Each structure stands twice: as structure tokens, then as C-alpha cells.
Structure 1
């Protein structure tokens, strides 16, 4: 991950949050769930494509990410509209994901300069993210087993993940608020 600022990061995060809320709406059988999901997938497709084309240097890994995101978004659009050929998109998603994981994998999520410090709020938000992800996994598995509290657990997980995404979007941080390693100098 480069140190350059990524364009359209905030609109993409908002689109992902809307997608998750649309999926939550579909779980609860609320009206306009399919339309919300369709709009969110379309926005992700458009925003990520623009983000790719605005990028100055395009590496092979960037093309792999584009194929993965575009295939995923098109698969979502085709599934909402109940169109055929979703299997083709799922195969493209799988191939591009495996290629991405081999080339970049978990190193994508690491902080390259290792200067980012964890304060208590960051640790708590990351803990909430883990709890949200585990709630979604557990709720999905329990739903397959037709357990009583599967859907509420799934809904709590999705809500936590949406809150985590929106926290980053609407948080107002300034340069003065950053943690500077408790006053220690780093080489």
C-alpha cells in the first residue's frame, strides 16, 4: 500500500455502508432492500472504476484488484436483477482473489512505516470490528441451523461493521490529535 492519498475513499466507504444496510434490510424483509443493494453495487462499480482510471501508475496488482471489485459488483447487480451468468463473475472473483492473496495478501493491511500507534479508542474500535465480524459469521452459521437468535446476531454484526465504516468516514481528526509515541523520538 503506497503512502499516496487514495481518491474516492470516502464515497466508496459510504457505498459499502449503504450496501451493508441494504443487506440488513433484505434480511428483515424491509421495502426497497433490493433497490438499495442495486444502487450500492452500482456506486461501488462506478467509483472504483473511476478510482482506477485516475491512478497515475497502474501495476498488475491494481488490475487484479479492479477485476476483483468489478466482478464482485457486477455479480451483485446481476443477482439483484436475477440475470444469468453470475457463475462467470464468481469464477472471476475467485481467480482474482487468489491472485491478489498470493501477490499482496495480508501485507495490504499492515502499516508500512510502523509509526501508527494504537491508542485506547483505536483498540476498542478494532475490538468492535472483530466482534462485528464474528457476529456476522456466527449469525450466518446459526441461521443455516435455524437457531432462534441467528438473525438478531447477524443484524448486530452488520450494524457494528456499518458503524465502524461510518466512524472512519465522519471522524474529524486533525494533525494535532495524533499520538506521538508518548513523547518518545523514533528513528
Structure 2
């Protein structure tokens, strides 16, 4: 299945970008952050569930991804509602992520011949994404330790990751001639 035929791809990416903006608003203690985060989690859950339902052939890895999204979004929704017993959803998220990564994690970056299918520009953008995620982790750790510049570090990381997602929404990607159909549901 081509990327352009994936159901709700851009809507899910927009919900993810909105979720990151909500996280940034929460870190900065801006009003309405909880509402934006709650709405984003709910949108991700609903859109991914509809996408999963519309998928014609459901493989075991698709079920694992749906379970991972279900655990992750439910944990987020219940955390926003200050529900005290979210540990089971956190454990479920971790276990399904490990199962997904073991089944398909690195194959996203390879084609059928096990050669890297990304262009230099895509590799650079992926590197930027990794830098953004690492910056978020660093900013979070700095914030936990009450170090200076933790909020600007978190802001930079969230801005990088959000811009990466928005770039994917607003730029059209060229479909690969021989996409591996096992990875068809991996693209958000």
C-alpha cells in the first residue's frame, strides 16, 4: 500500500503534533494544556482505531500496534483525569512496544532486499528527529534535577519534533517502487 493511500495518516500526524504542543504548553504552565492533551490523545485513539478497522488484511504486528496505541492513549487520558491506577497501562505500553520493536522496529528503514531505502535528505531529517527526541529527554532530566535552562531545552526538543511531524504532513513523499507491504501501517 502506498503512503498516500494510508487512511488518516495526516490526521494522526496532526494529532501527534497537537499533543506535543499540549505537552509544551503544560511544561510552560499555560492554560488549557490539559484539554489540548486530552483531546489529542482521544483523537489519536479514535483515528488509529478507525484506521485499524478499515485495514483489509490485519497481521499480528498490526494487532500489536493497535494494542500499543490503545494502552498508550488510555494511559494518557487517565493520567490527565488524575486516575491513580495507570501502572497497568504503562506496563502494557512497554510490553507492546517491545513486541512491536522485536517484530518490525528496524525493518521500517529497509526495503525487501534489506538495503537502506532512505535518501540522504531523509536520513538527515531522521537524524534531526533523533536529536529532537534526545533533547526532550535531556530537558526532562534537567527539569527533574531543577537545573537551569531545562525549560528552554524541553522547548527546543518539542519544537524540533513537532516541526518534523508537520514537515511530514505538509510535504508529499515520493512512493517507493517496491514498498514492503508489511510496513504499510507503520507510517503515522
Higher relative contact order (CA 8 A, sep 6+): 2
Q: Does 1:91 align with 2:105?
A: no
Structure 2: 5+ residue stretches without partners: 177-188
State the match for 2:45 in structure 1: 45
Cα distance in structure 1, aligned partners of 2:38 and 2:51: 20
Q: Quote the offset at 1:172 in angstroms.
A: 4.4
State the match for 2:138 in structure 1: 138
Q: Quote the offset at 1:12 in angstroms.
A: 0.4
Q: Quote the offset at 1:170 in angstroms.
A: 0.9
Q: Quote the offset at 1:102 in angstroms.
A: 2.1
Normalization by structure 1: what TM-score?
A: 0.83
Deviation string 1:73-104 (CA, Å, 9 cap, x unpaired) is 01100000112431121121122122212222
**SS of residue paired to 2:79:** helix
Q: Does 1:62 align with 2:62?
A: yes
Aligned residue pairs, count: 173
Normalization by structure 2: what TM-score?
A: 0.83
Structure 1: 5+ residue stretches without partners: 179-187
Alignment RMSD: 2.1
State the match for 1:106 in structure 2: 106
Q: Quote the offset at 1:112 in angstroms.
A: 1.4
For the pair shown, the structure with the greater C-alpha radius of gyration is 1
Q: Does 1:159 align with 2:159?
A: yes
Cα distance in structure 1, aligned partners of 2:111 and 2:64: 21
